[in-house]
Amino acid sequence: MKQFVLKHRRLLLYILYGVLITPVILLVRFPSEAIRDYLQSRINSKGLGIQVDIQDASLSFPAAIRLTAVKCSLRENPDEIVFAAEQVSVRPGLLSLFGKKPRYGFICQAYGGSISGNIDLQKNGKDASVRLSTEFKGIHIDDKSKLPSIIKECISGDLKGYLTYSGESLSDLSGTGNASLALSDGSIKFEKPLMNINSIDFKESVIKADLEDQNLNISEIDFRGRDFIGEATGIIALKSPVEKSLINLKGTIEPTDSFIKALEKSGGTGLILKQSLKNGKLPFAFNGTIENFHFRLM
């Protein structure tokens, strides 16, 4: 071995030099603008109904592309931002690139937290499929978040949990998936006050759902707060565009004694609320569409 090294030391030095200098050259000469423009054009031409804007693309190690200031908006309404991230790092699975099922890992720094996971792509002839696995940590949502107005104007809080999806594309409503999410220290806001109540604050809300046959089957919604304890189940029949999806949710709200007493002191609303209780709870229903839903007591 020693003789081999001595005999080929010049060749080995050249190889070592190449290994050390290649990353430096890639960093210095990395075509960031070209890669950025290529990624934007590829994503925007996929017919997903969204438009992606990337401020910058750079190379990071080991073998990852870092995207800065990423924004996704609706193609029909560019001012409506549906997602924004300060930074996105995409790392391909090197071994998977040699097969028919390339896998990419990603980490997004967004909304004060992180979104990480993997996306698997597969193509057999004309058939293509995508599989997504995502985890959310510390995602903060409020009325200033760069999210669709239908979300940030109705919901606030800190989000965590996971989501999986499998289908022909990310916009395929006939795909399958499941989600388990928790929203803490948040609130649900009503467009129109209900019995002088503008919003319901909660300490934590847990949501579990499955996607199948274009139906989002919500098996569990539990929320607990200082004034209310509630639960709900139901179905959201997905339509295109998503804003036209049909909502059919039913559940109960249980106001606390301290909340009812506080309302009684302020007027007759507390008495009306107390008389509406059934076994200490208020049955309710959410109906309509995502863009125009209705909340009513039953």
* pLDDT (tens digit per residue) in 35-58: 666 666 766 655 555 688 888 877
Residue 142 pLDDT exceeds 80: yes
Look at residue 270 in the predicted model and tell me its pLDDT: 61
Whether the CB-CB separation of 223 and 241 falls below 8 Å is answered with no
Residue 95 and residue 71 share a domain = yes
277 phi and psi, to 5 degrees? -70, 140
Across 123-137, 243-257, 279-293, which has the greatest mean pLDDT?
243-257
> Parallel, antiparallel, or unpaired: how do β-strands 176-194 and 215-224 relate?
unpaired
d(CA 205, CA 30): 45
Range of the structural domain that residue 258 is part of: 187-206+214-298
Residue 165 and residue 219 share a domain = no
Residue 62 and residue 145 share a domain = yes
Residue 49 Cα to chain centre, angstroms: 17
Residue 142 and residue 93 share a domain = yes
Q: Provide the 3-class DSSP secondary structure of residue 44.
A: helix
Residue 5 pLDDT exceeds 50: no
54 in any annotated domain: yes
* pLDDT (tens digit per residue) in 195-239: 666 777 888 899 999 999 899 999 999 988 888 888 999 999 988
Q: Closest Cα partner for 286 from 255, 250, 235? A: 250
Look at residue 115 in the predicted model and tell me its pLDDT: 93
234 in any annotated domain: yes
Residue 201 and residue 114 share a domain = no
Q: Closest Cα partner for 39 from 68, 81, 79? A: 68
Looking at the 3D structure of the chain, how many domains does it have? 2
Residue 118 pLDDT exceeds 60: yes
Structure tokens at 175: 């795909």
Cα dihedral angle (112, 119, 152, 226), rounded to 10 degrees?
-70
Residue 192 and residue 260 share a domain = yes
Structure tokens at 271: 């008495």
* pLDDT (tens digit per residue) in 146-164: 887 778 888 899 999 999 9
Who contacts 25 (Cβ-Cβ below 8 Å, separation ≥6)?
none
